[in-house]
């Protein structure tokens, strides 16, 4: 931690992106750290990432979600910050060497929400325009609702809602957790069944990243064991599949007592091929469960989807 100029003690520097949602998440983390560690002094350090700079192009065209963490990880390795708060679904399967997910706080609602301007999602007419920035959402929506016209939509939550309200779109899909953290409610928000519309890996969870050899004790104390177990299984699935930013993937874990259940998807971007599977195991075997389910889905057609995507890029 950095020494403060007024000699009142060190300050824990927390790295974050500057979007409204990222700041809401970082401020919540900051409050929790200070509440549970009396006397701890913290500072938010806003870092602009490559993903923030190129808002006019799909993530898959500029390098994927890892672009939301690259500059933040560099700041941590350079010791300009002591930890960082991320939406876990923004983290790539492998972190920069020397860094770890030091804590995973309790998870918010992991589901996706469909928000429409009028009729419910199922009542929208053929050709209705649905906006989303996620390859996973595009693939699953095309598979489940092929009658819609799926169009790319990037930007922060407010930008996406304005696109809907202006009439440019008939519906959008957002993460329930993001709206809750921003305090936004919409009467027309329809939760999508996570058994069918499987959430993104880590959706609804935060990840506090730190240097492997220098984890602040206050950060380590933020870890929520059930959330850590379920997201460890999801990220093990991601790592084993080895998917890129061009791969629509989903995995969602739930924990009942010590029993962990994992549901996952590998899909083609056009939704024509969707390989689904689920497995259970003891929570202590989270990483092995994620890897085993990845192997199963790869063997049942997921590998062919990945090869086709690699050949096309």
Based on the residue annotation, tell me whether 295 is a catalytic residue of this protein. no
Residue 309 near residue 246, CB atoms below 8 Å: yes
Indicate the length of the chain as a whole number. 313
Residue 255: strand pairing partners = 260
- The model's pLDDT over 9-62, given as tens digits with 9 standing for 90+, comes to 689 999 999 999 999 999 999 999 999 999 999 999 999 876 665 555 555 554
Closest by CA to 246, choosing from 96, 8, 109, 65, is 65
Whole-number pLDDT of residue 299: 97
- The model's pLDDT over 54-101, given as tens digits with 9 standing for 90+, comes to 555 555 554 555 677 999 999 999 999 999 999 999 998 899 999 999
∠ CA 106-100-206, rounded to 5°: 25
Token digits for 118? 């009028």
Whether the domain at 1-105+205-223 and the domain at 112-191 fall into the same CATH topology: yes
Q: Which fold has domain 1-105+205-223?
A: D-Maltodextrin-Binding Protein; domain 2 (3.40.190)
Q: What is the DSSP letter of 245?
A: T
Identify the CATH homologous superfamily for domain 224-313: Porphobilinogen deaminase, C-terminal domain (3.30.160.40)
Instruction: Classify domain 112-191 by CATH architecture.
Output: 3-Layer(aba) Sandwich (3.40)
6, 56, 78, 90: the active-site residue: 90
Token digits for 221? 């104390």
Bin 59: left if φ > 0, else alpha if -120 < ψ < 50, else beta.
Answer: alpha
Q: Is 254 exposed, middle or buried (0-12, 13-18, 19+ CB in 10 A)?
A: middle
∠ CA 169-267-125, rounded to 5°: 30
- Write down the pTM of the prediction: 0.91
Break the chain into its structural domains and give their ranges. 1-105+205-223, 112-191, 224-313
Residues 6+ apart with CB under 8 A from 134: 173, 200
- The model's pLDDT over 100-126, given as tens digits with 9 standing for 90+, comes to 999 999 999 999 999 998 889 999 999
How far is the C-alpha of 142 from the C-alpha of 127, rounded, in Å?
A: 12
Average pLDDT for 172-184 = 96
Whole-number pLDDT of residue 49: 76
Helix (H, G, I), strand (E, B) or coil at 65: helix
């Amino acid at each position: 931690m950095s020494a403060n100029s007024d000699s009142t003690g060190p300050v824990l520097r927390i790295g974050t992106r500057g979007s409204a949602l990222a700041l809401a998440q970082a401020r919540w983390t900051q409050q929790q750290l200070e509440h549970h560690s009396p006397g701890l002094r913290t500072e938010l350090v806003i870092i602009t990432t490559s993903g923030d700079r190129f808002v006019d192009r799909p993530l898959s065209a500029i390098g994927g979600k890892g672009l939301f963490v690259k500059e933040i990880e560099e700041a941590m390795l350079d010791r300009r910050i002591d930890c960082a708060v991320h939406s876990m679904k923004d983290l790539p399967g492998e972190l920069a060497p020397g860094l770890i997910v030091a804590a995973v706080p309790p998870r918010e609602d992991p589901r996706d929400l469909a928000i429409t301007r009028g009729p419910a999602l199922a009542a929208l007419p053929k050709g209705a325009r649905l906006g989303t920035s996620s390859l996973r959402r595009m693939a699953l929506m095309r598979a489940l609702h092929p009658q819609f016209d799926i169009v790319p939509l990037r930007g922060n939550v407010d930008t996406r809602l304005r696109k809907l309200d202006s009439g440019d779109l008939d519906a959008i899909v957002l993460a329930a957790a993001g709206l809750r953290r921003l305090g936004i409610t919409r009467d027309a928000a329809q939760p999508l069944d996570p058994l069918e519309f499987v959430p993104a890996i880590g959706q609804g969870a935060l990840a506090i990243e730190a240097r492997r050899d220098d984890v602040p004790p206050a950060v380590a104390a933020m870890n929520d064991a059930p959330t850590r177990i379920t997201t460890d299984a999801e990220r093990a699935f991601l790592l084993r599949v080895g998917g890129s930013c061009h791969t629509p993937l989903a995995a969602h874990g739930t924990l009942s007592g010590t029993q962990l259940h994992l549901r996952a998807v590998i899909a083609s971007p056009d939704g024509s091929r969707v390989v689904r599977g689920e497995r259970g195991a003891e929570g202590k075997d989270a990483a092995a469960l994620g890897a085993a389910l990845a192997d199963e889905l790869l063997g049942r057609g997921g590998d062919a989807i990945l090869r086709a995507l690699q050949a096309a890029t």
